[in-house]
A and B are shown apart, each in its own frame.
Chain A
Amino acid sequence: MPAHLSARLCSLALSLFLIAFTLPALAGPFEDAVAKFANDDYSDTDEAIGVVASSGNPLAFPIISALQDGRLMADPDSKKVYVTGADGKSIDAATGQAVASVPDSASAVRLNNRLRRSVDAALGSLTLQSPDVGTRLQAAQSVFKSHEETALEAVDAALAKETNRSVKAALGDARAAILLFKPDATEVEKLEAVAALKGRGDQEALALLTGMGDQPASVTKAAASAIGSIQNSLAVWSMVQNAWYGLSLGSVLLLAAIGLAITFGVMGVINMAHGEMVMIGAYTTFVVQEVIRTRYPGLFDYSLLIAVPLAFVVAGAIGVLIERSIIRFLYGRPLETLLATWGLSLVLQQAVRTMFGPTNREVGNPSWMSGAFELGQITITYNRLWILVFTLAVFAILLAMLRYTALGLEMRAVTQNRRMAASMGIATSRVDALTFGLGSGIAGIAGVALSQIDNVSPNLGQSYIIDSFMVVVFGGVGNLWGTLVGAFTLGIANKFLEPVAGAVLGKIAILVLIILFIQKRPRGLFALKGRAVEA
């Protein structure tokens, strides 16, 4: 029985004490059984555990749990048994009356390994009927794991009364587990048990079925087919799990790369300081949360909603500044742009390091982003799910912006033919600055999301820059859909390679595959076609 469960039951035990005080003390089978604890004999103790556990007496739980913790004191002379509480107060185990002190001759009732199993099973069945749903569920699960034969009656009794669906299912599984291991259970019962475990279909059911020992031929056969089907379904679930991890990684990659797809893909500017824009977004989140923590603690759950537009504005403004002061002088010289922006990334990193210190800063998860839920056999955390949703939303908004707004139209015009666009009266230099600002701003809001799953440190951006370039180059420059497909392909491929090759080797394999892929399609998955490409 898990330790935290017994701690949780202490309060329950206390209320039971109060009831116990009001009961008249009658000598009966319960009192006789309690007295047996004082015999200091393992078989007597075992017998006593069985009788006490099945007595239905409210004192049963405190006694058994005291026995487990070594707090059940027995006086061999007077044959009296006492339960000492953690607070030093003691009661008479048979009557529930408080006693001033336990006699010096009393000593803790001793247990051996066999008895400990009985105690665990007895406690498990005692809690099966607790009024608390969580306690009942946990008890049923612990019986399932221990599958002690002695708990069968208790499980059946609980099953008859149970109304909660999930607890009922857990109890059914527990019963199946017990029956499977019970030597004298009928073949029909065992076959039913195998079917129930097959329906459960998880790793634990598989462990029970593979370790069930000698069984009648029909049961062995049914179990073998159940094992096969469980293994199949587990394999499918692990695929689903990998696919989910892959989607999650893909969404992170897409989020980091999407701004780059604008600056590099649309404008052709190699912005090595792109990662630092992500970092600036993350630090904006940190500052917002700091202000909220000190001034308006109630707003903490909204901190990210406040940080997103702020990060967009901050990173976007810095982006426009960079474009106006450095990049516009370097158009048409991509290699020089690469070097200048690399230098810029060093400056930005060092600036942040000077302002906020070199160590990780803590950014908290709002309540709606913490926790997880189960979907079949896999666990999905809310922060990963929200990041996926957020990424797709950002992508859709960006796409719509490029497609339907005037600025989007101008951007596309300048990308396709700069001189023609200028002749048509588009202020190309203004569009350049805004496009670069947009790409940087999106990197900034990527930083808000990434602050939820990554360490916020001055090096945050560096860890994404190479991956982001890989995504954009793999997907095809100048094509947002290519970036989307590229990010999710790389994410999923990475996660499916990881279990086979290990995390680092998987990553190396992906890098090598991209290098080889570029040889085959030098302009990525979705290449732009036409004359503009060669220029």
Chain B
Amino acid sequence: MTPHMLTRSLDRSATIFLAVVAACGILIPLSNLLLPAGSFLQVPTYLVALWGKYVCYAILALSIDLIWGYCGILSLGHGAFFALGGYAMGMYLMRQIGTRGVYGNPILPDFMVFLNYSKLPWTWYGFDMFWFAALMVLLVPGLLAFCFGWLAFRSRVTGVYLSIITQAMTYALLLAFFRNDFGFGGNNGLTDFKDILGFNVQAEGTRAALFALSCLALIAGFLICRAIVSSKLGKVLIAVRDAESRTRFLGYRVESYKLFVFTVSACMAGVAGALYVPQVGIINPSEFAPGNSIEAVIWVAVGGRGTLVGAALGAVVVNYAKTFFTSGMLAPYWLFMLGALFILVTLLLPKGIVGTFNAWWDQSKEKRSAAAMASAAAEDGVTEPKMAE
């Protein structure tokens, strides 16, 4: 199998993926808004919100695949970047409530009035402006990842050690955000949102627009990841994944490459979180739970690490299964299934769905071309001597 064929097969699945996401991003909101309610083809609003959630998870999975699939960094703290982006958006939405809260305070959100805050903590300054919140959605996770990665990669913390300290990071954040005096709503988190950019968060139009935006963000994220992994930089990343020491000996500054891709990935996770919060209507510290981050890693493993398309697909498939199984009478068995999924995928399907499919497709294609060549040779009947010449 030549590298050329590999890129071509990736291009094919990438094209299909982009087409499907774009079609969903356009058709689902249109069907929800334009077709009459109850009609067969109309997508109900609750489904729009649910699928919007999946799309956000897909962006998160994409960000994990970028570092795990292509650079070998297994982060068990990506849920933290996701939640930080979500909190930044949640803070903007809280400030938009204004006097419509229970206590009617024009500046302080309800929970601060309840906890007897006399003025707004400095961490909340500027979050009444959307551009500032949007900037923070990128900056806060990005900066945290930059500092964390700068420390970790420079001192060559790799492999499972890195996984464990990323887990410690998200656990520390979980504990911090659970504290009431940390100033971010304590264990209740941020909720009761009203407006986003002047539009009602609950309105059908807003939800449809958020869904379309999420799809757009997924496409943008995918293109960015594709651009990174297919560039020269991407080749170095793959080299780092496969033989870090050798890459270093060849003269590459491994830590800079890792730091770059880790920071980009954290920013993507932040965006995913920011799109997630207005669609589900709440952000609370449980998003920082270490279990969430590990679950996000398994989406990537199910879909196929190092394929990008697979990561997004895995996120949607696993979460759809979760919704399906936890809502019915099978609910007590969901954790069995999720646990079994973890075990079976790592044991039996190490390449994931898309990876396995790609391998199979390439293999059968090779077989077909070999067969075609053989039959062509049989028809000509003169191949052997010609090849020998």
| Closest Cβ–Cβ distance, residue A326 to chain B (whole Å) | 6
Contact (Cβ within 8 A) A473 B340: no
A-chain residues with CB within 8 Å of residue B152 when the two chains form the complex: 518-519
The reply to whether B168 and A511 form a contact with Cβ atoms under 8 Å apart is yes
- In the bound assembly, the distance between CA atoms of A337 and B155 in angstroms comes to 24
Chain A interface residue count: which class?
Answer: 35 or more
Q: Which of these, B151, B290, B347, contacts A329 with CB under 8 Å?
A: B347
CA distance A342 to B294 in the complex (A): 8
Are A330 and B342 interface neighbours, CB within 8 A?
A: no
In Å, the complex CA distance between A83 and B369 comes to 113
Report chain B residues within 8 Å CB of A421: none
- Interface 1/0s, chain B 281-305, versus A by CB < 8 A? 0000000001000100110010000
B335 lies within 8 A of chain A by Cβ: yes
Q: Which residues of A contact B245 (CB under 8 A)?
A: 534
Say which residue of A270, A339, A508 sits within 8 Å of B342 (CB atoms).
A339
Q: Which of A351, A469, A516 has the most CB atoms of chain B within a 10 A radius of its CB?
A: A469
Inter-subunit contact B172/A512 (CB<8 Å): yes
Is A142 in the interface zone, CB < 8 Å from B? Answer: no
- Bound Cα distance A160, B196 (Å): 83
Question: Which residues of B151-172 are within 8 A (CB) of A?
Answer: 151-152, 154-161, 163-165, 167-169, 171-172
Residue B179 at the chain A interface, CB threshold 8 Å: yes
Tell me which residues across on chain B come within 8 A of A338, comparing CB atoms. 74, 160, 163
Which chain A residue lies CB-closest to B154? A519
Given the complex, which residues of A lie within 8 Å of B217, measured CB to CB?
Answer: none
| Bound-state Cα–Cα, A512 to B172, Å | 7
Chain A neighbourhood of B159, CB < 8 A: 334-335
CB distance from B41 to the nearest CB of A (A): 38
Contacting residues, chain A, for B154 (C-beta < 8 A):
519
User: Which of B156, B158, B169 touches A515 (beta carbons < 8 Å)?
Assistant: B169
A344-B178 contact given A334-B160, A338-B160, CB 8 Å threshold: no
Instruction: Report if B346 contacts A (CB, 8 A).
Output: yes
Chain B, Cβ-Cβ closest to A534: B245
Contact indicator A522/B156 (Cβ below 8 Å): yes
Neighbouring B residues of A507 by C-beta, 8 Å: 172, 175
B340–A504 CB distance below 8 A: no
Residues of A with C-beta under 8 A to B175: 504, 507-508, 511
Q: What CA separation (Å) do A361 and B265 show in the bound complex?
A: 43
Is A343's CB under 8 angstroms from B343's CB? yes
Query: Quick one: which of A424-479 are within 8 Å of B by CB?
Result: 466, 469-470, 473
The answer on a CB contact under 8 Å between B339 and A345 is yes
B328 to chain A, nearest CB (A): 16
Q: Is there contact, CB below 8 Å, between A518 and B172?
A: no
B338 within 8 A of A: yes
Are B165 and A335 in contact (CB-based, < 8 A)?
Answer: no
Residues from chain A with Cβ under 8 Å of B157 in the complex: 518-519, 522
- B339: chain A residues at CB < 8 Å are 343-348, 350
Q: Which residues of A contact B297 (CB under 8 A)?
A: 339
In contact, A335 and B340 (Cβ under 8 angstroms)? no
Q: Inside 8 A of A469's CB, which chain B residues have their CB?
A: 164, 167-168
Asked if residues A335 and B74 are in contact (CB atoms below 8 Å), the reply is yes
Q: Is B219 an interface residue (CB 8 A)?
A: no
List chain A residues, Cβ under 8 A from B350. 336
B26 on interface, CB distance cutoff 8 Å: no
Q: Given the complex of chains A and B, what is the CA–CA distance between A515 and B148 in angstroms?
A: 9
With both beta carbons as reference points, the residue of chain A lying nearest to B148 in the complex is identified as A515
Q: Is the CB of B74 within 8 A of A518?
A: no
* A347: min CB distance to chain B, Å: 4
CB distance from A27 to the nearest CB of B (A): 68
Q: Are B171 and A339 in contact (CB under 8 A)?
A: no
Q: Is B381 an interface residue (CB 8 A)?
A: no
For chain B, residues 194 to 248, give those with C-beta under 8 angstroms from any C-beta of chain A: 245
Cα(A376)–Cα(B164), bound, Å: 41
Within the complex, which residue of B155, B172, B298, B335 is in contact with A508, where a contact is CB–CB below 8 Å?
Answer: B172
Whether A470 lies near B332 (C-beta < 8 A) is no
Can you name the residue of chain A whose Cβ is closest to the Cβ of B76? A338
Tell me the bound Cα distance from A335 to B301 in angstroms: 11
Q: A330-B347, A340-B342, A515-B169 are in contact. Are A350 and B332 (CB under 8 A)?
A: yes
User: Is B134's CB within 8 Å of the partner chain A?
Assistant: no
Determine whether the beta carbon of B155 is less than 8 Å from that of A519: yes
Return B177 CB to nearest CB of chain A, in Å.
Answer: 10
Point out the residue from B165, B176, B346, B347 that lies within 8 Å of A518, measured CB to CB: B165
Q: How many angstroms between the C-alpha atoms of A304 and B332 in the bound complex?
A: 32
Kindly provide the distance from the CB of B146 to the nearest chain A CB, expressed in whole angstroms: 14
Q: Is the CB of A347 within 8 A of B335?
A: yes
Q: How large is the interface on B (under 10, 10 to 19, 20 to 34, 35 or more residues)?
A: 35 or more
Q: Which of A354, A504, A511, A516 counts the most B-chain CB atoms under 10 A from its CB? A: A511
Residue A391, interface by CB 8 Å:
no
A514 contacts partner chain B, Cβ-Cβ < 8 Å: yes
Q: How far is the CA of A520 from the CA of B152 in the complex (A)?
A: 9
- The answer to whether A127 has its CB under 8 Å from any CB of chain B is no
Q: Cβ of A90 < 8 Å from any Cβ of B? A: no
Bound Cα distance A519, B147 (Å): 12
B33 interface contact, C-beta 8 A:
no
A504 touches B151 (CB 8 A): no
Q: Please tell me if the beta carbons of B298 and A343 are within 8 angstroms of each other in the complex.
A: yes
Tell whether B249 is near chain A: CB-to-CB under 8 Å: no
Q: How far is the CA of A512 from the CA of B144 in the complex (A)?
A: 13
A521 and B171 CA atoms in complex are apart in Å by: 21
Which B residues between 121 and 157 are near A, CB-CB below 8 angstroms?
148, 151-152, 154-157
Which B residues are in CB contact (< 8 Å) with A347?
A: 335-336, 339-340, 343
Q: Shortest Cβ distance from A327 into chain B, in angstroms? A: 10
Asked whether, in the complex, the Cβ of B343 is within 8 Å of the Cβ of A326, the reply is yes
Name the B residues within 8 Å of A520 (CB-CB).
Answer: 155
CA distance A454 to B77 in the complex (A): 28
The chain B residue sitting closest to A502, CB to CB, is B179
* A22–chain B nearest beta-carbon distance, Å: 68
- The complex places the Cα of A150 from the Cα of B139 at a distance, in Å, of 73
**In the bound complex, what is the Cα–Cα distance between A277 and B343 (angstroms)?**
17
In the complex formed, the residue of B with least CB distance to A326 is B343
Most buried by A among B157, B179, B297, B332: B157
Beta-carbon contacts under 8 Å, A347-371 to B: 347-351, 354
Q: Which residues of B contact A340 (CB under 8 A)?
A: 342-343, 346-347
How far is it, in angstroms, between the C-alpha of A351 and the C-alpha of B338 when the chains are bound? 13
Inside 8 A of A346's CB, which chain B residues have their CB?
335-336, 338-339, 342
- What are the residues of chain B within 8 A of A326 when measuring CB–CB? 343, 347
B113 at the interface (CB under 8 A from A): no
Q: Which residues in B have their C-beta under 8 angstroms from that of A334?
A: 159-160
B341 adjacent to chain A (CB < 8 Å): yes
Of all chain B residues, the one with the shortest Cβ separation from A348 is B339
Contact with A along B59-100 (1 / 0, CB 8 A): 000000000100000100000000000000000000000000
Q: Which residue of B lies closest to A329 (CB)?
A: B347
Q: A59-103 vs B: 1/0 string, CB under 8 Å? A: 000000000000000000000000000000000000000000000
A466 to B342, Cβ gap below 8 A? no
Inter-chain contacts of B347 with A (CB < 8 A): 326, 329-330, 340
- CB of A334, distance to nearest CB on chain B (Å): 5
Cα of A508 to Cα of B297 in the assembled complex, Å:
24
Q: Which residues of B contact A511 (CB under 8 A)?
A: 168-169, 171-172, 175
Cα A207 to Cα B160 in complex, Å, equals: 54
Contact of A519 among B74, B151, B298, B346 (CB under 8 A): B151
Say whether B151 contacts A516, CB under 8 Å.
yes
* Beyond A344-B339, A349-B335, A469-B168, 12 extra complex contacts between A and B, CB < 8 Å: A335-B159, A336-B350, A339-B301, A340-B343, A342-B342, A344-B343, A354-B332, A466-B167, A507-B175, A508-B172, A511-B171, A523-B161
Interface residues of A (CB under 8 A from B): 270, 272, 326, 329-330, 333-340, 342-351, 354, 466, 469-470, 473, 504-505, 507-508, 511-512, 514-516, 518-520, 522-523, 534
| In the complex, the 5 A-B pairs of residues with the closest C-beta atoms, listed nearest first | A343-B342, A346-B339, A347-B339, A350-B335, A511-B172
- A and B contact pairs by CB, cutoff 8 A, 14 listed: A330-B347, A335-B74, A336-B346, A337-B346, A338-B160, A338-B163, A339-B346, A340-B342, A345-B339, A346-B339, A507-B172, A515-B168, A519-B157, A534-B245
